[in-house]
Amino acid sequence: MADSKRLSRWKRRARESGKCDGKVVDSVQVVVTKRFGEDVGEALIPANEVVEWAGDFLQEFRKSSAPVQPRLVSDRPVPKWLAPPQGMFKINTDAALNVQGNSAGIGVVIRNFRGQVMLSSCKNFRTAFSPVIAEALAVLEGLRLAKLGGFFPTVLESDALTVVQDICRNESLSSDVGLVIDDILFFCRDFNFFSFRHVPRLANKVAHGLAKLALSNLGEFVWSGDCPLCVENLVMGDFPQTM
């Protein structure tokens, strides 16, 4: 009976504190009664633990009943590589720099409308170019390889916004990168159709992987109709996408 009185006092304090709804307190009493009997002295656990159990029960109830904080979920689609229209090819280029090693690497991949790799390449330069010049050289290398392989008509994508903007202006620039831009525009004359697009890095992952590979390998490597194993999963991850 002493424990019954303790439980009654606990109920009264819970109500008076204002921290607990009366219905919740009554619910706790119902659970205690059904679980331990009308007389808590007949409980299946020691009587002196009943009040403590009731308090723990109430705390767990509060936690489970607490409102869930809303989470912000972005519905913005993740950028992905898109295949060119049927009958066209797409070149993706990128550059990577190793400032400490005084070197630069460029990567090129050319794919058809099915996403199949027609050609991939990585090339290492033992020179510390600026990022803009390195990206422009990657574009120039992509055009050179497309011309050698006869991949026409072509769309070229790069994640270097400044370089793409400079090319699309179609005018000479009085800077070091301007010399490379002039060579790019000269190469474009040999293509019956050509367009340049800026894309996010996530839509240029294969070329980026090839550029990173170039940093750890001296010289130039070209894979005809294939790609190195280190970017194979990235190529497969781009299937299937259409413009």
Q: Are residues 56 and 97 in the same domain?
A: no
| Phi, psi (degrees; rounded to nearest 5) at 157 | -125, 140
Q: Are residues 203 and 128 in the same domain?
A: yes
Is pLDDT of 2 > 60?
A: no
Structural domain harbouring 224: 89-237
Q: In whole angstroms, what is the distance from residue 97 CA to residue 102 CA?
A: 8
Q: Say if residue 135 is exposed, middle or buried (CB neighbours under 10 Å; 0-12, 13-18, 19+).
A: buried
* Measured CA distances, 66 to 59, 60, 86 (Å): 11, 10, 55
140 falls in which pLDDT band (50, 70, 90)?
A: very high
Q: Taking the CA atoms of 30, 36, 39 and 40 in sequence, report the sign of the dihedral they define.
A: negative
Give the count of domains, the chain.
2
- The pLDDT tens digits of the residues spanning 117-134 come to 999 999 999 988 999 999
Q: Are residues 183 and 136 in the same domain?
A: yes
Q: Which residue has the higher pLDDT, 49 or 231?
A: 231
Nearest Cα residue to 221 out of 112, 136, 230: 230
- The pLDDT tens digits of the residues spanning 151-177 come to 999 999 999 999 999 999 988 888 889
Contacts of 117 (CB under 8 A, 6+ apart): 109, 110, 111, 223, 225, 226, 227, 235
Q: Are residues 110 and 226 in the same domain?
A: yes
DSSP-derived secondary structure for 137-164: HHHHHHHHHHHHHT--SEEEEES-HHHH
Which DSSP state fits 45?
A: S
Has this prediction a pTM greater than 0.75? no
- The pLDDT tens digits of the residues spanning 176-228 come to 899 999 999 999 988 888 899 999 999 999 999 999 999 999 999 999 999 99
Q: Are residues 115 and 229 in the same domain?
A: yes
Residue 46's identity, in one-letter code, is P
Q: Are residues 166 and 122 in the same domain?
A: yes
SS3 124: strand
Q: Which residue has the higher pLDDT, 18 or 158?
A: 158
- The pLDDT tens digits of the residues spanning 19-52 come to 555 555 565 555 556 555 554 444 455 555 555 6
Q: Are residues 223 and 108 in the same domain?
A: yes
